[in-house]
Amino acid sequence: MTPIIETKNLYKIYTDQASEVRAVDDVSLRIAEGEFTAIVGPSGSGKTTLLNLIGGLDSPTSGSLYAGGKDISGLSEKEIIHFRLHHIGFVFQAYNLIPVLTAKENVSFVMELQGRKKEEIKRRAEELLQAVGLGDRMDSRPAKLSGGQQQRVAVARALASRPQFVLADEPTANLDSQSAENLLDIMEQLNRQEGITFIFSTHDPRIMAKAKRMITLEDGKIKSDVLK
């Protein structure tokens, strides 16, 4: 079976006049569809850089990167924007919701960009918000929602485009313990029941505990890769 993510000898090197930093250093890995994987490591280990490369938010210095069977490392900016819109869901630490839009409108926005029909957009946005426990807050703007509720809206938005996989960069970092547990339970349930692939960048032990696979980075290299 073709892996949903595959990197081969992937490098991301930052240079200035005095030094060279190998943020991602010869990383080769395969992630299968339906995995619930955590990329972990100390600050500066390269985990966020690797996630950004997988998501097409940054370009590798060298090496190849396949997502959904497609080599995205050589795509143009226009092509990578199109690929992200239709194939990848993102959940960021800072939520990144649009303040003037309601929860339902935030979830709908990505589908509008995809050119979906209004009836489908309305139905899917409502279904997703129900799925993340916010059926009664669809018309609330972000300022009226707690941090945990905003992050659940972000998860619903990430799933709205029917992506091949979801990338979550420190999704629990700004949440209290109970909100973090609730969010992780929702994502674990979506993974288990619907087979949605989740790839986390995190140092949160709660995510590490729930992950079915843990890839540990150190100085940009894979130090260990453990299936639970």
Total structural domains within the chain: 1
Confidence of residue 93 (pLDDT cuts 50, 70, 90): confident
Backbone angles phi, psi at 133, to 5 degrees: 80, 25
pLDDT digits (tens, 9 = 90+) for 11-48: 999 998 788 999 999 999 999 999 999 999 998 999 99
Residue 39: per-residue pLDDT? 97
45: containing domain: 5-227
Contacts 24+ apart (CB under 8 A), 106-109: 106/142, 106/153, 106/157, 107/153, 107/156, 107/157, 107/160, 108/160, 109/157
Alpha helices in the chain (DSSP H): 47-54, 77-87, 103-114, 118-131, 147-160, 177-194, 205-210
- Average pLDDT, integer, range 172-178: 90
Above 70 in pLDDT, residue 161? yes
Collapsing DSSP to helix, strand or coil, 56 comes out as coil
Q: What is the CATH number of the domain that holds 111?
A: 3.40.50.300
pLDDT at res. 1 = 64
pLDDT the model gives residue 95? 87
Residue 143's alpha-carbon distances to 31, 117, 225, in angstroms, are 36, 28, 40
Q: What is the per-residue pLDDT for 24?
A: 97
Tens digit of each residue's pLDDT (9 = 90 or more) over 187-224? 999 999 889 999 999 999 999 999 999 999 999 999 99
Mean pLDDT for the chain overall: 93
pTM: 0.92
